[in-house]
Structures are given as structure tokens and as C-alpha cells.
Amino acid sequence: MLADPAMVPPVALLVYASDDPARAAFWPFAVYSPEYQAACWAVRNGAAVRFIDVPAAWGLASGDEPASEPEAEPSDAAEAPVDEIAVRLERDPIGLLAEAGGYQDGESWWRDVIEESPASDAVFAAVADAMAALRDAAPPAEGREALREAHMRLEIAKAAKEQEGVVAVVCGAWHEPALKAKVPLSQDRDLLKSAPKQKTSATWAPWTSPRLAFQSGYAAGVTAPGWCGHLWETPREEVTVRWLGRIVQALREAGHIASTASLIEAQRLAVALAAMRDRPHPGFEELREAAIACLCHGERLVWETIAAKLLLGDAVGEISPDVPLAPLIEDLQREQRRTRLKPEALERELAIDLRSEGGLDRSTLLHRLLILGVPWGRQVDAGRSRGTFRERWQLRWEPEFVVRLVENLVYGPTLARAAAGRLTAHFAEAADLPALCGLTLSALTAQLPDAAHAGVERIEHRVALTSDCGELLSSLAPLGDIVRYGQARRTDAVQLETLFVRILSQGALALPYAVRGLDAEAAKLLRSALLAADAAAVLAEADLTDWRAALSTVVEDEQAAPLLAGVAARLLYEAGTIMPEAAADLLGRMLSPGRAVADAAGFFEGFFDGAGERLIYDPGLRAAVDRWMQELEAEDFTAFLPLFRRALGNLDRMQRRRLLDAVFGRGGAGLQGRAAAADAEAIWPAHFQRLTDILTARPAQ
Amino acid sequence: MTDILRLPAETTYAAELEALKRKDDAPTPRGWALSPKAVVTYLMGGKAADGTPISAKYVGDRRLIETAVATLATDRALLLLGVPGTAKSWVSEHLAAGICGDSSLVIQCTAGTDENQIRYGWNYAQLLANGPSREALVPTPLYRAMETGKLCRLEELTRMGSDVQDTLITVLSEKMMPIPELNDAVYARRGFNLIATANNRDKGVNELSSALKRRFNVVVLPLPDDMDEEIAIVTRRVGEMALSLDLPAPKNVAEEVARVVSIFRELRGGSTIDGKVTLKTPSGSLSTAEAIAVTVGGLSQAAHFDGGKLNAEGLAPSLLGAIVKDPVQDKIVLEEYLEAVLKKRPDYAGYYRALVDLV
């Protein structure tokens, strides 16, 4: 199947325990994988080919962890004083050889001496000798190693019996002496008898070349799949030049200037470096350093912008259509059975009670699918029912969802892991705090604690780096949601709470600087962030001392945008930090004739916008406004009129009535009616006339 | 002890250079005093073939120095870039000392440097008396380096005007300098090369033209990766400087150096050393050289005013000066750092108090 022409590497063999797909392992194959080439050759030449390593089932059954090769050995060095060489022999035999040859690490030695060496026959024999010597010095293979080798020997013997002619074995050099060794078949069989068994399913999955890289978590991976592919494709004499050529091309595509002359210089420098390090020809490191020095003007960053594409490649494999079913779909079917949710092509409404176990499971499943880009269910009242115990969904299944699930296979073999993987990938792309908070919230709703944790970490990181006050503040509202939401579902909110407090204090530190020198547009944006943040902070019952202190600074700051100063003053007034008398003084000072009308207007708007209702219930405030209005010159009063109208315009008819009642002391039961001033009759008619005009939205006369 | 405040590298380390040269059997480019390998050993430290220990001049990535030396061996010019205080000039001096045994051919490039200081000038008395002739020429360090096949060092290349910089293009690509007045030219002898240093933090001072930039191989010297490495550098250099300034070193220098360096590293790296708290970074570069300067400043304060006691109060003012370069932004950064990190560390209590008082 591997050699099927419809299969385009990189692809991976995916084996998972049938009853628990989370215990799965991938075996990726690239074009230059020896196994792939062997299989292709075998198919072309009509030879039989088979895997001789132990069946994957054993690895999966033996460990709870999904086994991948090579398995990590317990760190015995720490526990017992084992002979250091012996330990290293087991872990890194090539490294020892390399050290003997004067290299720093095994990888580069292996490349120089073996893979890039022109005379391969002699080298193979030498490697076999060296390995035999190393194996003699190392303790005999134990456990899984021994099992693997026994199994390989048995399979080779079987193949030799069944087939005529030579049997070629493709294996790691380390196993070579063991496979040659003459061990009675019965002994091997005995060894294998005790092997644990596990029912498994296998399928092929398209792989991507970045995931062949060691850094992506594939333990047997290579550091630079792109370089390996390049070595495989390019004739030996042209490796250096062509590689540099590809670098130059990538640089040019990225918009840098890279001349042919520089390419020549890079080539010369690489050769000089190789000579200085006694290498037969420039290796990967020499070429990289030469490219940085000559082509990227010494800027490692420039190199890194092109490195990912060059080193990791962006190839995506394809699988032929006749492969067995993918695990995500199987997992979905299992989940559907468990939660008793049937896929139906027609739309159907579903109400879920989150308090019951079954309801929570269903909701979790739907949320996870949403994260995976499979909108089986659409939340009808999305955003409103958060934090309550009821969710309403519209369900409809579309056939193409299957395809989308298979696409998500790269993120993980089960719905939970794939959703977590996909979210993590989104975290990396999310540009700003509010987006990150949203993603984290969805991780929490979908019961993906790991992803949520990762999200919180990203938020933390981002928070530390940002100095944009608006961004900090606008992240508080969704974060506050998450903090409160933590109680509806079983989530661990402690970390979030600390984070919330931290953002709040950081926002408080940044606020006094952020409110300076803003134009009207920017001030408005910041105002909504400020209001949302304050609401969230109050709801979250956080410690508000610093926050309030920052607000007072804003109020006192001469350079602060007046709109924001007004908002801050109102918030403080509502919180009771500014007493009504002080508020009156403040209003008087801020709106005093000495200030530019536009500034005063800004302050007034900030203070009263959306708070007209306050005037009805708050006699102290009303008195303050009243006093200030009475002191206004007629001209100024006219100038302020549009402002009053804007501030009070959103009161409805009923509220206006009550405001008027309050003003004239006709107080109803709920109002602490204030005795009208003695000369009210004399003063008020004019004001009243104007006020009515304002309130009924007729232009002032 | 000599009366000269600071001796050139080839004199200070004459013994090491001699030892390296004695048994240097690796292939040596023509015009070089040492083989490239020996030059790398001279800079990175190690042992000469006859067992003489060689002190490390540069502490850091060996590969960078290898690239630098290999560049000079390919007769390409070398440009050392880096933020201030990353040992650019130090490396260039020692490269010159190692490769040609003479680090004195230096041109300090400034905004006032003109072509006559790069190419050659004239002895006007001679010029008026005898007309243009070789005798009337006043050679510059670059001229001399070409004639004698040595390395010429250009300090702070980007400080010099772009038009003057471009004088170097012919010298770099054709290895000759025309003297049109005499219808003659100076041809560089083997061994000639250029090492330039430039600061990549002050962008746009006099950005190199791409024609010139293309003729240099660039090596960027980074700030030290490793905390212990940096502490070692600071301690050693502080020791050397204190010695040459006749400052007594109190016993606790090592501890205070470790604290200063860790404060510097945390602020520079944007997170605490244990990686638990992310921090903002201030606008200054907070280089190793500044850590050295802060410590030496503290030592001087201790010796002259504080009765020989080195403490947080003495170090704090220079620390503050190194961190807060922008009065608004950096102050917030420092305040955040003080409250979020230093406040919780009992062994930094002195620094916390002293810095809070100053901020």
C-alpha cells in the first residue's frame, strides 16, 4: 500500500488501539525514508516486502503512554551510579563514535562519514564492524529492544524460508549485529510469547513535512527535513551550490536583495569554514553560517524568516482513496452512540441541561466539533446563555463534515485531542488579547483543560508584552466572563483569577498614560473599553484599590482626554469614592467658564452619557448640576444645550417625567423629594421652558 | 608596571602569540602570522601546541569566531555588528593582533571623517615645494595596511558619512587604491584585509549602501546566552579594571555582580530567570559592558565615599541610570519589575528599597 502511486509522501502509518484511539502512534515516511524507497523498489521489481519490526499492537498494549520510537528510557543515571559509558552506549552509540572521530555530536558525524560519503560500500562494512564492537561493549539488549530484535530475526527466517534468493533487510545500524547473530529460533519464540497483545486498527494519514522534524515532537525525526530531502534529490557534486541557490531564491521571494556575487562569496565562505573544521565538504551548519554572514548581512532573524520554509518544507502528503477509515470518524461515531445524538440531515432543535451528566457530555461534544470546524450544531442563543445551565442548539449534519474531520487528523486522533491541538494552533495565530480570551473561553466550554491552560499561558505572555492600555482593558471583559463562568462548569479558575488581577493592575498602571493626547475617535474607543473593564472588575469582585487610584489620577490629570476624565469621574462617583459634594465641586471646576467649551463638553458627555437616569434618583448630583447650570451665562448655556440634549436624549418619556417631577419636588414615593428653593417660582420658568425644549427635542429658541 | 594606561593586545598577550606561533603546523594563508585555527584558539582560549595555556579573549559562541576568521581567510572583509557593549572592538583588536600581529592600524570613523583620512592626505609644504609626489603623500592606516599586508580596523563604520564609506568599495573589490594625482595606485599585499565594527541598534545613522554591504561578510555578536558566562565576563573585567584604576575590591563583589547581572538579564530577556513571570523590556540595550560599568561605578563609589563597602545603595544610582533611558516608558518597566519581581525576593531587599527610593 505504501508504494501505491496514489500515495504521495510524506504520509504516516497510524496505528491505534481499537478501543481507545487516544493510544495511537504514527510512523511517518518521507520520500527519502529507507523504508519507503525499499518498498517502492520491491514493488517495481516484483519482490515481496514486509515490515519486520514488532507489531505496533505490542507497543500500544505495554505502555499507557502512546508509544513512539525510540522509547525514552528511565533516567537511571540519576538513580544509581551506572557506568556512564554503558548508559551512553545504549542511548547514543553514534555519539560515542563521533566523539572518537573528534565531532561534537553524532548527527554531523553520521552525515559526514556515512550519508554524504562517496565510497559507501566500504563505509557500510566499517559501520557494521563499529556497531558490532559497540554492541559487545554494551550490556545485552533487554525488554522491548530484545523483543524487537527477536521478532526481526524470526521474520527474516520466515522470509528466507518462503522466498527464493536473497533477503534484504532495511534496519537501523544498531540492530545489524543482532540480526546477523545466530540465535536459535525457539529462544526467540519463547521471548515473544510473553508479549502483551492489543487489538489495533491501522490507517494511513496524510503527513506534512514540518511534522517530520524533530522539533515537532517526532522523536525519530530529523532536524531539517528540507535538508534531507535536498540531499536525496540533488546530485552529490551540486549539493552545496543548489542549497545556497535555494536560499537565495527564498530570500528573493521574501523581498531581500541577494546577488549572484554574494552567492559565490557564501559558497567560498562555506568551503573555508569546512576546511577550518576539517570537514570533507560544507555541511548543513557551515552552509547556514555562510548564508547568514554573506546573504543575510549577519541578521539571524532574516535567516529565520526563510528557514522554516527551507528546512521544514511545506509538502503535504496524499493518501490513496482506498485506505481504511480514519480514527476521528470512528471516535465521533463512538461519541454519538455514547451521548445518544444521531446525525440527521434535517434541522432539529435541541435543548441541553448542563446540570445533568448527559447534557454536559452532549454540549461538550458539540462544542468540540465546533472548534474542529464541524458546525454540526449551531448555538441558537449564543453568547446570551453563557454561565446559565441551559443551551439551545440547532443540529444538522452535512456529509462534508466527514472530510473536515479527516483534515483535522493532523491535530490528533480523538475529538478531544484534535480540538485541543487545533485550538493550540489557533492560539499561535491569534493576534490580540480579546481573540485569545475568546479562544480560551471556547477551550473551557469544550472541556479541554490542556488547551485552556495553554491559552491562559499565552494570554499571560501577551499581557506582559503589551503596553496598549485599550487592548488590556478590552481583554478584561471576556476574561471576567471566564472567571465567573468557571463556576457553571467544572474548571479551575484560580490561575485565571490571578491573571485577571494582574491585567487589572497593569491596566491601572498604563491608564494614566493612555488617556493623554487622544483625539475624539480614539477617546471613544477607549471609553467603551474602560466602561467594560470597570464593569468586569466590579463583577469579578477583585481588589479595586489600584484601579480606583488610577481613575482618580485620570480625573485630576490636566492632559487627559476630557471625555475619559468624565467617564472616570462618573465611575468613581458611582463607586462612592467621590462624595456628592466633591462631585459638585468637580463638575463646577471641570465645567467652569475658564475651560474651553469643547473640553467641558467632553467631560460632561463622559460623565453623563448613559447616566441620565442617575439624575432622577440622586438628589446630591442633581443639586450639583443644578447649581452649575444656574451659574451659566446665557451665552454659555446656549452653547451647552446640544450637549444636554445628547446626555439626556436617551431617557424615555416616563423617565423624563420622573426627572421633571424630581426637579420640581413633586417627588413620588421612591424619590427623596427635595424642598424647592424659596425663589424657585422666579428662577425656574425660564429654565423649565428650555429644559422642556431640550427634552422634547425641539430646537432651542 | 608601565605608565601606559592600556597596552595594545599584541603586547599584552605577546607570550601567548609567541607560544601559538612556535608550533603552528596547520596551513597558514600567505601574509598571516598564525594559521586560522591558531587564531581561533587565541580568541577562544585553550592550549597552544607546546602546552602554554591561552586565555579566552572572547567568551561566547565559537562558531561566530570561526566564521569571522574564515571570512578573513577568504580575503572578504569582515563587519562585526552588535548592540553596544558586545565586545565588537575587543574582538576586532584581537583578531588583528592574532592574524597580523599588529592591532594599531585603526581608523575611528565619525561624522567628521573625510576621504583624506581614509585614503591618503597631503603634506602641503612638500606639495607646494615639489609638486605631487609619493613623498608628499601622508599615508593613512588603511594605506599603510595595504602597503604592508596587514589588517586595518575601522571602528563604528556607520558613523561616517555614506559618501566617505563608499571610498572603500574599490579597495574591497579590487584590492587597490588609485592615486589619480600621481597616475599611480597602491596595490594591497597579501594579508591585507579590513575589519569594520558597527552598532546595529542606532538604525539609520549612515546606513551602509548595499554595494558596500555586499562586500562585507557580517557577523553579529550577540549578548551572552548564559547567565554564568556573563557573570564570569563581568567579574573578570571588573577585576581587571579595578586593578588598573587602583580600586580595592571588597569581598562581596562576586555576589553583587551576580545580582546586577541577573537584574540586567531578566529585564533584557523579558522574563525572570525561572521563566515564571514575563516582563517588559526597557529601551536601553543593558549590555554586558554596561553591567561592568555599573559595577565599576559602584566600586569607585565604595572606595571613595562609602568606606570601602560595596552595597545596594551605592550601586542603585548607576543601575537606575543604566535601565531608565527613556523617562516615561522605562520608568513604568522598572516599576513593574520592582513590584512584580524584586519585592518578593528577600536577598534583593536592599536593591528594592534603594531603587524604589530613587524612582
Verify that B318 and B274 share a domain, yes or no. yes
Taking the CA of residue B217 and the nearest CA in chain A, the distance in Å comes to: 5
Mean per-residue pLDDT for A30-41? 68
Is B288 part of any domain?
yes
Cβ–Cβ < 8 Å for B127, B110: no
What whole-number distance in Å separates Cα of residue A230 and Cα of residue A464? 41
Contact flag B270-A261 (C-beta cutoff 8 Å) = no
Residue A595 has pLDDT above 80, yes or no: no
Give B197's contacts in chain A (Cβ within 8 Å): none
Is B59 part of any domain?
yes
Verify that B205 and B56 share a domain, yes or no. yes
Residue A82 has pLDDT above 60, yes or no: no
Cβ–Cβ < 8 Å for B162, B209: yes
Could you tell me if B335 lies within 8 Å of chain A, comparing CB atoms? yes
Mean per-residue pLDDT for A172-186? 66
* A492-A496-A500 Cα angle (round to 5): 155
Q: Which residue has the higher pLDDT, B337 or A453?
A: B337
Taking the CA of residue B89 and the nearest CA in chain A, the distance in Å comes to: 17
Residue A460 has pLDDT above 60, yes or no: yes
Mean per-residue pLDDT for A269-289? 83
Domain extent for B333: 227-357
Residue B146 has pLDDT above 90, yes or no: yes
Percentage of chain A surpassing pLDDT 90?
A: 0
Cβ–Cβ < 8 Å for B198, B160: no
Provide φ and ψ at B53, rounded to 5°. Answer: -70, 140
Provide φ and ψ at A164, rounded to 5°. Answer: -95, 155
* Nearest-by-CA chain B residue for A272: B70
C-alpha cell at A295: 546573504
Q: Which residue has the higher pLDDT, A342 or B107?
A: B107
Contact flag A269-B40 (C-beta cutoff 8 Å) = no
Residue A73 has pLDDT above 50, yes or no: no
Contact flag A289-B76 (C-beta cutoff 8 Å) = no
Taking the CA of residue A595 and the nearest CA in chain B, the distance in Å comes to: 27
Could you tell me if A269 lies within 8 Å of chain B, comparing CB atoms? yes
Interface test with B, best of A108, A265, A276, A295 (most B CBs within 10 A): A276
CATH number of the domain residue B200 falls in: 3.40.50.300
Confidence of residue A592 (pLDDT cuts 50, 70, 90): low
Is B79 part of any domain?
yes
Q: Which residue has the higher pLDDT, A171 or B342?
A: B342
What whole-number distance in Å separates Cα of residue A267 and Cα of residue A288? 11
Could you tell me if B199 lies within 8 Å of chain A, comparing CB atoms? no
Contact flag A298-B81 (C-beta cutoff 8 Å) = yes
Least CB–CB distance from B74: residue in A262, A268, A300: A268
Q: What is the pLDDT of residue A68?
A: 34
Distances in Å between the alpha carbon of B349 and those of A596, B34, B280? 48, 51, 21
Looking at the DSSP bridge assignments, the partners of residue A377 are: A395
Taking the CA of residue A585 and the nearest CA in chain B, the distance in Å comes to: 31
What whole-number distance in Å separates Cα of residue A536 and Cα of residue A480? 5
Taking the CA of residue B306 and the nearest CA in chain A, the distance in Å comes to: 36
Taking the CA of residue A443 and the nearest CA in chain B, the distance in Å comes to: 23
Q: Which residue has the higher pLDDT, A670 or B180?
A: B180
Is B103 part of any domain?
yes
Is cis: bond before A70, omega within 30 of 0? yes
pLDDT digits over A351-402, tens only?
887 777 788 888 888 888 888 888 888 877 654 444 556 778 888 776 666 6
Q: What is the DSSP letter of A89?
A: H
**What's the sign of the alpha-carbon dihedral A461, A467, A473, A475?**
negative
Give the amino acid at B341. Answer: V
Cβ–Cβ < 8 Å for B82, B220: yes
A357: left (phi over 0), alpha (psi -120 to 50) or beta: alpha
Least confident of A71-75, A173-177, A694-698, B244-248: A71-75
Q: What is the pLDDT of residue A137?
A: 67
* Nearest-by-CA chain A residue for B69: A273
Q: Which residue has the higher pLDDT, A684 or A294?
A: A294
Could you tell me if B219 lies within 8 Å of chain A, comparing CB atoms? yes
Give A289's contacts in chain B (Cβ within 8 Å): 63, 66-67
pLDDT digits over A486-504, tens only?
555 555 566 677 777 778 8
* Nearest-by-CA chain A residue for B340: A502
Least CB–CB distance from A298: residue in B40, B70, B218: B218
Q: What is the pLDDT of residue B178?
A: 92
Contact flag B67-A269 (C-beta cutoff 8 Å) = yes
Taking the CA of residue A506 and the nearest CA in chain B, the distance in Å comes to: 8
What residues of chain A, 443 to 462, have a C-beta less than 8 Å from chain B? Answer: 460-461
Q: What is the pLDDT of residue A204?
A: 64
* Nearest-by-CA chain B residue for A290: B67
What whole-number distance in Å separates Cα of residue A627 and Cα of residue A614? 16
Q: What is the pLDDT of residue A182?
A: 65
What whole-number distance in Å separates Cα of residue A392 and Cα of residue A351? 4
- Residue A328, Cα to own-chain centre: how many angstroms? 21
Contact flag B214-A268 (C-beta cutoff 8 Å) = no
Taking the CA of residue A507 and the nearest CA in chain B, the distance in Å comes to: 12
What whole-number distance in Å separates Cα of residue A280 and Cα of residue A506? 56
- Residue A536, Cα to own-chain centre: how many angstroms? 25
Is B2 part of any domain?
no
Residue B140: closest CA among B120, B167, B158, B115 = B120
Could you tell me if A516 lies within 8 Å of chain B, comparing CB atoms? no
Cβ–Cβ < 8 Å for B137, B122: yes
- B61 contact partners, CB below 8 Å, separation of at least 6: B222, B225
A438: left (phi over 0), alpha (psi -120 to 50) or beta: alpha
What residues of chain A, 564 to 583, have a C-beta less than 8 Å from chain B? Answer: none
- Work out the burial of residue A452: count CB atoms within 10 Å of its CB; fewer than 13 is exposed, 13-18 middle, 19 or more buried: buried
Q: Angle, to 10 degrees, between the axis of helix A520-539 and the axis of helix A494-514?
A: 150
pLDDT digits over B175-218, tens only?
999 999 999 999 999 999 999 999 877 765 778 888 888 889 88
Q: Which of A175-179, A519-523, B299-303 is most confident? A: B299-303
Distances in Å between the alpha carbon of B136 and those of A260, A539, B32, B139, B335? 42, 86, 30, 9, 62
- A483 contact partners, CB below 8 Å, separation of at least 6: A493, A496, A497, A500, A540
Residue B231 has pLDDT above 70, yes or no: yes
Cβ–Cβ < 8 Å for B95, B43: yes
Residue A191 has pLDDT above 70, yes or no: no
Q: What is the pLDDT of residue B343?
A: 83
Q: Which residue has the higher pLDDT, B315 or A208?
A: B315
Q: What is the pLDDT of residue B123?
A: 93
Confidence of residue A404 (pLDDT cuts 50, 70, 90): low
- B72 contact partners, CB below 8 Å, separation of at least 6: B78, B95, B99, B151, B193, B195
Is B3 part of any domain?
no
Mean per-residue pLDDT for A56-64? 47
Alpha-helical regions (H) of B124-201: 124-130, 141-148, 162-165, 168-174
Q: What is the pLDDT of residue A559?
A: 76
Verify that B208 and B246 share a domain, yes or no. no
Interface test with B, best of A108, A273, A465, A504 (most B CBs within 10 A): A273
What whole-number distance in Å separates Cα of residue B230 and Cα of residue A157? 60
pLDDT digits over A284-336, tens only?
788 888 888 888 887 778 888 887 777 776 666 665 555 665 677 777 777 87
Cβ–Cβ < 8 Å for B312, B260: no
Looking at the DSSP bridge assignments, the partners of residue B106 are: B153
Verify that B244 and B106 share a domain, yes or no. no
Domain boundary among B172, B204, B220: B220
Verify that B190 and B325 share a domain, yes or no. no
Give the amino acid at A14. Answer: L
Q: What is the pLDDT of residue B222?
A: 85
Verify that B58 and B180 share a domain, yes or no. yes
Verify that B216 and B179 share a domain, yes or no. yes
Residue B282 has pLDDT above 80, yes or no: yes
Interface test with A, best of B210, B214, B334, B335 (most A CBs within 10 A): B214
Q: Which residue has the higher pLDDT, A290 or A194?
A: A290
Domain boundary among B157, B192, B220: B220
Q: What is the pLDDT of residue A71?
A: 34
Q: Which residue has the higher pLDDT, A692 or A40?
A: A692
Could you tell me if B62 lies within 8 Å of chain A, comparing CB atoms? no
Alpha-helical regions (H) of A557-633: 562-575, 580-590, 597-608, 612-617, 619-631
Q: What is the pLDDT of residue A385?
A: 46
For chain B, state the CA radius of gyration.
23
Contact flag B270-A294 (C-beta cutoff 8 Å) = no
C-alpha cell at A331: 471516535
Domain boundary among B154, B188, B220: B220
pLDDT digits over A83-126, tens only?
444 444 555 566 666 666 656 555 666 666 665 555 556 666 77
Percentage of chain B surpassing pLDDT 70?
A: 99
What whole-number distance in Å separates Cα of residue A226 and Cα of residue A209? 8
B45: left (phi over 0), alpha (psi -120 to 50) or beta: left
Q: Where are the domains of chain A?
A: 11-207, 225-312, 327-411, 579-671
Q: What is the pLDDT of residue A62?
A: 43
Q: What is the pLDDT of residue B288?
A: 85
First to last CA, chain B: 43
Verify that B100 and B16 share a domain, yes or no. yes
C-alpha cell at A444: 473551557
Q: What is the pLDDT of residue A81?
A: 36
Could you tell me if A670 lies within 8 Å of chain B, comparing CB atoms? no
Could you tell me if A289 lies within 8 Å of chain B, comparing CB atoms? yes
What whole-number distance in Å separates Cα of residue A642 and Cα of residue B320? 51
Interface test with A, best of B174, B208, B220, B272 (most A CBs within 10 A): B220
Least confident of A435-449, B35-49, B111-125, B294-308: A435-449
Tally of CA atoms within 13 A in the half-sphere of A38 that contains its CB: 14
pLDDT digits over A231-267, tens only?
777 777 777 888 888 888 888 888 888 888 888 888 8
pLDDT digits over B18-54, tens only?
999 888 888 888 889 999 989 999 999 888 888 888 8
Verify that B32 and B136 share a domain, yes or no. yes
Contact flag B70-A465 (C-beta cutoff 8 Å) = no
Give the amino acid at A128. Answer: A
pLDDT digits over A631-668, tens only?
777 777 777 777 777 767 767 777 778 777 777 776 44
- Work out the burial of residue A456: count CB atoms within 10 Å of its CB; fewer than 13 is exposed, 13-18 middle, 19 or more buried: buried
What whole-number distance in Å separates Cα of residue B143 and Cα of residue B148? 9
Give the amino acid at B300. Answer: S
The counts of H helices and E strands in chain A are: 33, 6
What whole-number distance in Å separates Cα of residue A529 and Cα of residue A470? 6
Could you tell me whether strands A11-17 and A348-353 are parallel, antiparallel, or unpaired per DSSP bridges? unpaired
Q: How many domains does chain B have?
A: 2
Mean per-residue pLDDT for A116-141? 66
Least CB–CB distance from A293: residue in B67, B73, B210: B67
Alpha-helical regions (H) of B74-113: 88-100
Contact flag A298-B336 (C-beta cutoff 8 Å) = no
Residue A75 has pLDDT above 60, yes or no: no
Could you tell me if A300 lies within 8 Å of chain B, comparing CB atoms? yes
What whole-number distance in Å separates Cα of residue A296 and Cα of residue A255? 12
Provide φ and ψ at A179, rounded to 5°. Answer: -70, -30
Contact flag B332-A262 (C-beta cutoff 8 Å) = no
Could you tell me if A199 lies within 8 Å of chain B, comparing CB atoms? no
Give the number of residues written for chain A: 701
